[in-house]
Amino acid sequence: MEKREELYAGKAKSVFRTDDPDRFVLVFRDDTSAFDGERKEQLSRKGMVNNRFNAFIMEKLEAAGVPTHFEGLLSDTETLVKKLDMIPVECVVRNVSAGSLCRRLGVEEGQELSPPTYELFLKNDTLHDPMVNESLAVTFNWASETELVHMKELTYKVNSVLKTLFDDAGMLLVDYKLEFGRSGTDIVLGDEFSPDGCRIWDKETRKKMDKDRFRQGLGDVIETYEEVGRRLGINFD
């Protein structure tokens, strides 16, 4: 597989074409940002840690019957993925109240949400990823009604698998976002799953073990990401 020109550079990942028109190389960089890119830093080992973390999670989800774009690790920071026609809507599940939910609704952080909430956000940095609904997604042709139903089903399936996985490792999967794309007529999980895109707390102490450590200046960001991974059984050595 030959990596060719860069197609897209996001906040922490880059996408490269390959000599196969149906495959891309996803490169995890050490870049870290918060508040829509207003704060940026480089954190050593971050690209490697998130790449391996994502591979582990994607393999767990594939084994549970969730279709993903993950094909395999190419190096410490590179992953081979299927080319998808990405849907510009993020699916967010919240198992515990935190973050923007508390700010929007004035609810206390740390409440268990039963059943978990499910929300949609338009993927648009300029507009700060506004919340949308199914009607808007269909009206503006971001996704069809059938696709939205399938995305919701897959998101809750992911929640069932990962909530248990983290719980067994002594952690709470507080909330997370997923992105999906089309592979022909199939809906497939794309992007990544790492501590950058979810909230994870220690089950007993409620220690924050995700990107909030960077957002809130708590320190030990990558060390904590690695602790999460080790609890799950990921080897970073």
| Residue 236 within any structural domain of the chain | no
Domain CATH code at residue 138 = 3.30.470.20
| Domain presence at residue 204 | yes
CA dist 2 and 57 (Å) reads 25
CB contact at 8 A, 229 and 196: no
User: Chain centroid to CA 145: how far?
Assistant: 23
Inside any domain, residue 231: no
- Name the nearest CA neighbour of 116 among 136, 98, 135: 98
Give the domain range for residue 30: 3-82
Please say whether the beta carbons of 190 and 179 come within 8 A: yes
Residues 23 and 78 in one domain: yes
Q: Is residue 33 included in any domain, yes or no?
A: yes
5: confidence class by pLDDT, cuts 50, 70, 90: very high
pLDDT at 96: 98
Number of Cβ within 10 Å of residue 123's Cβ equals 15
Tens digit of pLDDT for each residue in 36-88?
667 889 999 999 999 999 999 999 999 999 999 999 999 999 999 999 999 99
pLDDT tens per residue, range 102-114: 999 999 999 999 9
- Both 10 and 119 in one domain: the answer is no
- Structure letter (DSSP) for residue 68: B
Tens of pLDDT, residues 127-150 = 999 999 999 999 999 999 999 999
Q: Write the CATH number for 78.
A: 3.30.200.20
Answer yes or no: pTM beyond 0.85: yes
Give tens-digit pLDDT for 165-224: 999 999 999 999 999 999 999 999 999 999 999 999 999 999 999 999 999 999 999 999
> At 181, which helix (H) or strand (E)?
strand 171-183
Do 183 and 73 fall into the same domain?
A: no
Are 11 and 26 spatial neighbours (Cβ–Cβ below 8 Å)?
no
Phi, psi torsion values for 210, nearest 5 degrees: -140, -160
Same domain, 69 and 93: no
Domain count for the chain, please give it.
2
| Helix runs in 66-201, H state only | 100-105, 134-139, 145-168
Query: Residue holding tokens 């007529």?
Result: 185
Shared-domain flag, residues 133 and 154: yes
The answer as to whether 233 is a domain residue is no
| pLDDT score at 37 | 64
Place of tokens 């200046």: 217
